[in-house]
Structure 1
Amino acid sequence: MKKATKTRLDQRASEDREVQHTAFLSLLKETDKPVEWSYEVWDEFVADLSHKNNRRRAIAAQLLCNLAKSDPQNKMVKTFPALLEVTRDERFVTARHTIQALWKVGVAGKKQLKLLLEGTQLRFAECESEKNGTLIRYDLLQGLRNLYDQLQDAKIKKLALELIETETDAKYQKKYQMLWKSV
């Protein structure tokens, strides 16, 4: 691992929000493509999913989603339930950042895609009664759209349209359909 990467990894745990945010953005950019150091930090990121600091939870979740493409050992298969749990975080901003990054797991392989689609379907159904349920649903569907744009897999579109059909409020159903209008 490069010294600069190690420094950013250390800084992501900084109490200084600006230092932490700058390190996070740099790591996010670096992990947009596969990296060789994923397993050097994997367990630490998994542990951070339940850290007392919600920013640490959000950073860990988003970076793990990005690291899914750097996971030839398929550790994400065991990690995914903990990642999905962060989509239910007590701090909505943490949950939302996780939901918005979650789709990246599905790009990593067939097993990960299966987990992601099942997890999305579960969260879509269970969030109906949550305080921000319609926003969660929108973000989940946006994630499916992002995934579809990457993989061009008809089963992703099929699932999204099926989920939209379960929405009972016509206003939100129409809003969700707009995500898929151009496909």
Structure 2
Amino acid sequence: MDSIIQSLFADLEAKDKNAQYEAFKKLLAVTEEKVDWTYEVWNELVENLTDKDPHQRARAAQFLAALAISDPEKRILNAFPTLWNVTKDPKFVTARHSLQSIWKVGLAGPEQKEMVVDQLVHRYHDCLGEKNDTLIRFDIIQDLRKLYDRVQDEAIKKVALELIATEERDKYRKKYSKLW
């Protein structure tokens, strides 16, 4: 890992919230492409998924999801249950940020894609009646759209449209449909 990346990870712990946010944005941008330093931060990120600080949990989830494309050992398959738990975090903003990035795991390969899609489908059905269920469902449909846009797998589109069709509330069915 080069000194710039090390510095960005160090800045995540800075006292200045602006410095933290800038480092976070830069790291997310860097992880849009494959990187060669994934395993240098992997264990710490996995540990941070259960940190007492919700910001640490959210950041760790977003970074791990993004780093899945740089995970030739497929460690994400073992880490995924813990990562997925953050999408149901008691702190809704943490859960939502994690859920909004989970689709990136599906970019890592067919096995990871299937795992993510399956979990999103289950969550779509299971969240009904929860507080903010419409936001959760919107994020799930949006995740499927983002994954579809990147991998062009018609099966993902089919799944998304089938989920939307199960939405009984007209207002939300229309809202979710607009994503497609």
Q: For residues 173 and 79 of structure 1, what CA distance do their matches in structure 2 show?
A: 33
Q: Provide the residue aligned with 1:17 in structure 2.
A: 17
Q: For residues 147 and 34 of structure 1, what CA distance do their matches in structure 2 show?
A: 17
Q: For residues 131 and 109 of structure 2, what CA distance do their matches in structure 1 show?
A: 33
**Alpha-carbon distance, 1:19 to partner:** 2.2
Q: Provide the residue aligned with 1:5 in structure 2.
A: 5
Q: For residues 116 and 15 of structure 1, what CA distance do their matches in structure 2 show?
A: 35
Identity of matched residues, %: 47
Q: For residues 96 and 150 of structure 2, what CA distance do their matches in structure 1 show?
A: 21
> Could you list the runs of 5+ residues in structure 2 that have no partner in the other structure?
none
**Alpha-carbon distance, 1:82 to partner:** 1.0
Pairs within 5 Å for 1:1-183: 1-180=1-180
The superposition leaves residues 31-62 of structure 1 with CA deviations (integer Å, 9 ceiling, x where unpaired) of 11100000110110011111111111111111
Matched-pair contact (CA < 8 Å) for 1:34–1:69? yes
Q: For residues 125 and 3 of structure 2, what CA distance do their matches in structure 1 show?
A: 44
The superposition leaves residues 116-149 of structure 1 with CA deviations (integer Å, 9 ceiling, x where unpaired) of 0111011111111111100110011011011111
The superposition leaves residues 44-89 of structure 1 with CA deviations (integer Å, 9 ceiling, x where unpaired) of 0011111111111111111111101000000111111111111111
The one-letter amino acid of 2:57's match is R
The one-letter amino acid of 1:130's match is E
Aligned-pair Cα RMSD in Å = 1.1
Q: For residues 23 and 102 of structure 1, what CA distance do their matches in structure 2 show?
A: 20
TM-score (norm 2): 0.96
Matched-pair contact (CA < 8 Å) for 1:68–1:76? yes
**Alpha-carbon distance, 1:29 to partner:** 1.0
CA 1:6–1:45 in 2, change beyond 3 Å: closer, same or farther?
same
**Alpha-carbon distance, 1:16 to partner:** 3.3
The one-letter amino acid of 1:154's match is E
The one-letter amino acid of 1:110's match is P
The one-letter amino acid of 2:177's match is Q
Q: For residues 141 and 129 of structure 1, what CA distance do their matches in structure 2 show?
A: 17
Q: For residues 2 and 70 of structure 1, what CA distance do their matches in structure 2 show?
A: 16
